[in-house]
């Protein structure tokens, strides 16, 4: 009886783990679905109100900021300058169907 309960608990835990991994949104998926886009400030922005996309944006933007700060320190630049340069590159590299932010702050598909 104990082994059956343990097996059931393990199965449930495995199922929960797999379902959370399946539900996790990747950056590429979010861009392909039009949920997020590249902003002119070097960070991702929310195009469509979606909780998974919000979580993804928070994670990606945090990593971007750390990376920008590291580059800025190394090259004696401001973090904002590095982010602005990164924005130009990200917007230029965006796929035609992906959203980008215009200079006026509007979302448009490239």
What residue spans of the chain are helical by DSSP H?
2-23, 27-32, 51-75, 79-93
Tell me how far apart the alpha carbons of residues 36 and 41 are, in angstroms, rounded to a whole number: 14
Is the pTM higher than 0.85? The answer reads no
CB 83 within 8 A of CB 70: no
The one-character DSSP state at 34 is T
Residue 40 and residue 91 in contact, taking contact as beta carbons nearer than 8 Å: yes
Strands 99-101 vs 44-46: parallel, antiparallel or unpaired: unpaired
pLDDT digits (tens, 9 = 90+) for 54-106: 999 999 999 999 999 999 999 999 999 999 999 999 999 999 999 999 999 99
């Amino acid at each position: 009886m104990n082994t059956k309960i343990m097996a059931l608990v393990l199965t449930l835990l495995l199922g929960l783990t797999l379902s959370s991994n399946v539900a996790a949104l990747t950056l590429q998926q979010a861009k392909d679905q039009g949920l997020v886009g590249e902003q002119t400030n070097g960070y991702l922005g929310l195009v469509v109100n979606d909780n998974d996309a919000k979580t993804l944006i928070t994670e990606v933007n945090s990593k971007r900021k750390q990376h920008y700060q590291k580059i800025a320190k190394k090259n004696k630049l401001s973090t904002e300058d590095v982010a602005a340069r990164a924005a130009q590159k990200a917007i230029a590299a965006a796929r035609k169907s992906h959203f980008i932010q215009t200079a006026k702050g509007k979302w448009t598909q490239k």
